[in-house]
Structure 1
Amino acid sequence: MHARMFRLTAGAATLAAVGALAVALPAAQAKPDDHQNGSRPGQGPTVDLQLLAINDLHGALEPPTGSNGEVTYRHEDGTTEQIRAGGVEYLATGLREARRGEARSLTVAAGDLIGATPLLSGLFHDEPTIEALNRLEMDVAGVGNHEFDEGWEELTRLQEGGCHPVDGCYTEDREFEGADFPYLAANVVNEDTGRPILPPYTIQNVRGVKVGVIGVTLEGTADIVTQQGIEGLEFLDEVETIDRYSRELRRRGVNAIVTLIHEGGYPSNTAYNADCEGGADGGISGPIVDIARNASSDVDVMITGHTHQPYVCSIPDPSGRERLVTSAASNGRLFTELNMKYDMRSGDIVRASVEGSNRVVDREQRPARDLTRLLEDWNRLAAPVANAPIGYITEDIRGRGAGTPEFPLGDLIADAQLAHARELDESTTIALMNPGGVRADLTYAASGGEGDGVVTYGEGFTVQPFSNTVNLLDVTGEQLLQVLREQVSGANAASPKILQPSAGLTYTLDMTRSGADRIVADSVRIDGEPLDAAATYRIAVNNFLAGGGDGFATLADGENPVVGNDDMRVFADYLTANSAPEAPIAAPAADRITVVE
């Protein structure tokens, strides 16, 4: 449904492809134009319904660079190749082509559409991304954790419209109009009232077909976002919330239900077109498995996100019936196409008819001109800041895409923060950077084909878009060891978060062990000396970590805090001071952590 004659406010109750993967439950075969094929006993006449879904766009309006702009394609012989993908100009073309000939289509998203965004969107508080989503004809979106990066009141502004309260409007003749689609936040409630801060669900009427859409984010959101932005909010259990609103939708006569869940899983094969097979849960692991196995059987399809993985998998619901669970990776590199039959007599989706495909947003197709014009308009405003050079590199400097616990760009950022911290307090010994805060690679080749090796402010901002501060604090040696153990235990036991170390910290990570024992205690060295449990160490971390984010609760106990500069400014200053056209920076060796596997 793409009607644009009204806006749903935050407080209102709301009723082409390259090697496409087709993973389906057993389905009745029908011609695309056959809308009356209900022949099964008890089944009425059916019509076709299409869902198109994205997740974790993160404001990647322009084609992403490096590993963030590629997807893996698996050939029949088992070999793989990388396909360049992404960019909203191409995403628009892909979605419009997929809708062609479909009488009933909904476009939905499972969170993190904004937040952790490149400069083109982040510089303008993500207004460009909302405007792009409007042009993509987004019908409904669930919230993710990154929708709260600038606080829930700012999210409400992006929904309702209006100029930014500090920066104002960016052009004299135009005020930001807000999202044409509703954001849903069923399990994000006000602590005082217990009521959702945004609508919990919407009922979409698509040419006589009623579909209920529930939006939830991960219950652990409070552990991975800056606390200031979510003060007064509570994040409820995903399954209990889905069950509650599924019952409410059924009471309202809506039997076809889709959930948008900003929580995800990890497929056994990360090629976007790999068969999701093997094991009781269809070749997928991670938090989404328990959610899918326990959430109401009234839900017909689960659109997920958060883990940035591509999958279209089948997981049994509580009644034992197979149910598709999907994710379209991240950065607009893929979109999921789901096709199904809707029974006009029961008002429900025919579960056995649901088929799903992840489709590549490849850059060989023609870009959508209206999106091209939108990007050109915002780029003109951003150019003076975005194009300013801040440093020079000799090669690609890989971030999380390196696929190793420690990666070169993480070390470089930690070194930059240590240098800044020592300007504030020369006794600072080390810096630690959270891996999730490194959002992209630094690529040697310029996107425009000129200026190889030049790092612009825009490229740096894409790597570090959160506007965190570099904070100093005191911890004991015992506390520091506990911080290292928290990388692989507690909240991070199932999915370790390895902090990126600055120069001065070395230790051994033994992955053959389990839990906290993976940190070999007697291997930890500070400036070559064994860690002294009784000593006090001055360290630098960003304010997110300093608040105990990402499961590092011990850092919140640090003492004598000092707040330094914005982390992006710190990174830019470091690159400027330590590189030049004739003396560019090489990628660090990433050899501070010895990994035993």
Structure 2
Amino acid sequence: MIRIALSFCAVVLLGSCSGSHPAATQVLPASADDAIADINVKIIAFNDLHGHLEATKLSIPVPTADGTHVGIPAGGAAYLAGAIKSLKQANPYHAVVSAGDMIGATPLVSALFLDEPTIEAVNAFGIDFNAVGNHEFDKGVAELLRMQNGGCTKYTQRQPCALNQQFAGANFGFLAANTVKKDGSTLFPASAIKTFGHGPQQVKIGFIGLTLKNTAYLVTPGGVAGVTFKDEAHTANALIPQLKAQGAAAIVVIVHEGGTTTGGFNDHTCPNLAGAIVTILERLDPAVDVVVSGHTHRSYVCDYGRKNPAKPFLLTSAGQYGTLVTDINLRINPHTRKVVSKSADNVIVQGAGFINHAGLAVRPSAAYPRFEEDRDVAAIVNRYAHAAAPLANRIVGSLTASATRRQSASGESPLGNLIADAQLAATQSLENGQAQLALMNPGGLRADLQVPNGGGEISYAQLFSSQPFGNNLVVKSFTGAQLRKLLEQQFKAGSAAMGHPRILFPSSGFTYTYNLKNPIGTRIVAMHLHGAPIANDRMYRVAMNSYLANGGDQFSLFNEGRNVSGGALDVDALESYLRTHSPLKPPATNRITRID
């Protein structure tokens, strides 16, 4: 018998192995009360799916006997569903959870239909809970509630229910313990309990879902109007006594925040673990057994107790885009209500082979588990992919080389500069704002524009993958002094939210120099437009996307611009620019100078 109970917390403040490493396992001392057989429960986890329904053409590097690495093809929603089904069959006592960013910043096949395809596909996975991530808020609170509850009310520019006139929403629960409305209640349930077994052979596991507290800085401010995001550790700690009082023998925290390591996808030594998740773990109640994390798109399985014995957590992350799934196993004594042991492995969601952008074959490997495609999920994906195909496959231009997000020492990237150029070109006419320069944020770049060596054509689907948010272009007037202060926010915003500067990519003709050794507020040491110094008292017309225009990424000074003019969609501007300039050579990264 398996039962689920959701906890609606009125006030947050109150209330199969892969890889070459052995499993990260913690075994607690046996109890004298250990007369009742232990119960084994499997937690199956993934994170940061971002609507990648079709095969991703991504691979997971694995070591070979000669010390090199080979890529294993991974991803695709139908294969992910197959992997989850296989893991479920290994143990009837299981729960399936997602650590956020299931939707938002999605490829065309999902985004064109307001991510309804992803919700439908994940419904077919048969999961229990999704801890809401920052990208779930990309289209605002009302649209996110529609994702949970269903219906066809229109909250965005796109028409909902374009293919499915009976969109029912998610059949699994959204959890968001630290996402609080003005009345003090949580936007979604804070926690849930799932019960396994019956009678004396029964155990309960409590699940707490958390959104990263910096969400308000990572989405359009209007999208999170009316809600606030509380501290993750404090919120979880306040809920644990309630779950324990309800009989929870184990606590699983699902949090859309994460870290980085220098190890492989299943390296249980978790070398050099760093990032915001560490700050959370250090303040988290040691009563927590497992922390399922996400957000950084990194994969790891960590026995955190090796680093800090007072914090005996098992920490996991399954990377991104459904390329991995985490197989977590808990052995629980139903009499003592204690976890006897816990272990986890990241399992490659091995998919079909493909030819990569370098023209090399990436083939499946018999050394790692193979999973069958789930037919129901494949049918959902194929239905929406077929509907999107005419638009997705349209050729929009060509590049002489790939335009990537790879940053130079100054923080620029070829793709970032290219998009800034496209936005300037789309807003230079008087009708569209007569922009003189454009600035683009790095978080808005979601995929490289890849072409074969020697150049090649670009499809609309590729453009959409790189610019999936549907932002409009906006032009505002700033004085030179305001522009300088705005660029200074690159360092303040980056250090506060991400741990490093968030460099804005400039359009052609606009250059600037910064020195990180200077005090905050004086790091921009020079700015030029077509070779002429920017004058503090002169007005300049600046183009940006609507996310930045509303103060996104903590660039609050974008709100101070005057004489606002609207423009086209960002992806449409990129398409027009590419059509006009094909075959286009990606721009050099020589517009920003770093002299520290």
- Work out the CA distance in 1 between the residues paired with 2:328 and 2:33: 24
Closer/same/farther in 2, CA of residues 10 and 242 from structure 1, 3 Å limit: closer
After TM superposition, the structure 1 = structure 2 runs for residues 483-522 of structure 1, keeping only pairs within 5 Å, are 483-492=486-495, 494-510=499-515, 513=517, 516=520, 519=523, 521-522=525-526
Q: Does the aligned pair in 2 maintain the 1:20–1:357 contact within 8 Å?
A: no
Other-structure match for 1:31: none
Other-structure match for 1:557: 560
Q: Does the aligned pair in 2 maintain the 1:296–1:318 contact within 8 Å?
A: no
TM-score (norm 1): 0.86
Other-structure match for 1:348: 338
- Work out the CA distance in 2 between the residues paired with 1:87 and 1:56: 13
- Work out the CA distance in 2 between the residues paired with 1:7 and 1:570: 48
- Work out the CA distance in 2 between the residues paired with 1:228 and 1:321: 38
Other-structure match for 1:589: 588
Find out whether 1:367 has 2:364 as its counterpart: no
Closer/same/farther in 2, CA of residues 402 and 322 from structure 1, 3 Å limit: farther
Identity %: 37
Other-structure match for 2:444: 437
- Work out the CA distance in 2 between the residues paired with 1:332 and 1:80: 21
Find out whether 1:244 has 2:238 as its counterpart: yes
Deviations 1:35-61 (A, max 9, x none): xxx844455542212111111111011
Other-structure match for 1:34: none
Equivalent position SS for 1:243: helix
Other-structure match for 1:449: none
Residue 454 of structure 1 deviates from its aligned partner by 2.6
Residue 412 of structure 1 deviates from its aligned partner by 0.9
Larger mean CA deviation between 221-230 and 435-444 belongs to 221-230
Residue 107 of structure 1 deviates from its aligned partner by 0.9
- Work out the CA distance in 1 between the residues paired with 2:230 and 2:509: 41
Deviations 1:326-355 (A, max 9, x none): 2111111212121221121122323xx222
Other-structure match for 2:468: 465
Q: What residue identity is the alignment partner of 1:376?
A: N
Other-structure match for 1:51: 43
Equivalent residue for 2:414, pick from 408, 418, 422 = 408
Deviations 1:468-523 (A, max 9, x none): 11111122223222332322235535232122221122234556x3774894513x
Closer/same/farther in 2, CA of residues 62 and 519 from structure 1, 3 Å limit: farther
Closer/same/farther in 2, CA of residues 299 and 471 from structure 1, 3 Å limit: same
Find out whether 1:418 has 2:424 as its counterpart: yes
Other-structure match for 2:203: 209
Q: Cα RMSD between the aligned structures?
A: 3.1
Other-structure match for 1:265: 259
Find out whether 1:531 has 2:534 as its counterpart: yes
Closer/same/farther in 2, CA of residues 102 and 237 from structure 1, 3 Å limit: same
Equivalent residue for 1:117, pick from 91, 106, 118 = 106
Residue 200 of structure 1 deviates from its aligned partner by 0.7
After TM superposition, the structure 1 = structure 2 runs for residues 219-368 of structure 1, keeping only pairs within 5 Å, are 219-267=213-261, 269=262, 271-278=264-271, 283-316=272-305, 320-350=310-340, 353-363=341-351, 364=364, 365=370, 366-368=372-374
Q: Does the aligned pair in 1 maintain the 2:290–2:315 contact within 8 Å?
A: yes
- Work out the CA distance in 1 between the residues paired with 2:393 and 2:409: 29
Q: What residue identity is the alignment partner of 1:421?
A: T
Other-structure match for 1:200: 190
Deviations 1:173-192 (A, max 9, x none): x511221110011111111x
Larger mean CA deviation between 457-466 and 585-594 belongs to 585-594
Larger mean CA deviation between 406-415 and 377-386 belongs to 377-386
- Work out the CA distance in 2 between the residues paired with 1:518 and 1:335: 46
Equivalent position SS for 2:279: helix
- Work out the CA distance in 2 between the residues paired with 1:569 and 1:120: 17
Equivalent residue for 1:159, pick from 148, 152, 170 = 148
Q: What residue identity is the alignment partner of 1:362?
A: Q
- Work out the CA distance in 2 between the residues paired with 1:10 and 1:162: 22
Q: What residue identity is the alignment partner of 1:300?
A: D
- Work out the CA distance in 2 between the residues paired with 1:128 and 1:354: 34
Q: Does the aligned pair in 2 maintain the 1:22–1:358 contact within 8 Å?
A: no
- Work out the CA distance in 2 between the residues paired with 1:248 and 1:514: 49
Other-structure match for 1:97: 86
Closer/same/farther in 2, CA of residues 504 and 43 from structure 1, 3 Å limit: farther
Equivalent position SS for 2:412: coil
- Work out the CA distance in 2 between the residues paired with 1:91 and 1:64: 12
TM-score (norm 2): 0.86
Q: Does the aligned pair in 1 maintain the 2:10–2:184 contact within 8 Å?
A: no
For structure 2, the 5+ residue unaligned runs are 352-363, 365-369
Equivalent position SS for 2:209: strand
- Work out the CA distance in 2 between the residues paired with 1:93 and 1:546: 42
- Work out the CA distance in 2 between the residues paired with 1:404 and 1:223: 23
Closer/same/farther in 2, CA of residues 139 and 415 from structure 1, 3 Å limit: same
- Work out the CA distance in 2 between the residues paired with 1:308 and 1:57: 9
Q: What residue identity is the alignment partner of 2:347?
A: R
Equivalent position SS for 2:415: helix
Find out whether 1:476 has 2:479 as its counterpart: yes
Deviations 1:214-249 (A, max 9, x none): 111011111111122222112111122111211211
Residue 587 of structure 1 deviates from its aligned partner by 2.2
Other-structure match for 2:77: 88
Closer/same/farther in 2, CA of residues 8 and 180 from structure 1, 3 Å limit: farther
- Work out the CA distance in 2 between the residues paired with 1:417 and 1:139: 42
Residue 322 of structure 1 deviates from its aligned partner by 2.1
Deviations 1:65-112 (A, max 9, x none): 4xxx24343568865444442111221222222333223221101110
- Work out the CA distance in 1 between the residues paired with 2:95 and 2:256: 18
Q: Does the aligned pair in 1 maintain the 2:323–2:350 contact within 8 Å?
A: yes
Runs (4+) of structure 1 exceeding 6 A deviation are: 6-13, 401-404
Closer/same/farther in 2, CA of residues 83 and 300 from structure 1, 3 Å limit: same
Q: Does the aligned pair in 2 maintain the 1:2–1:139 contact within 8 Å?
A: no
Equivalent position SS for 1:422: coil
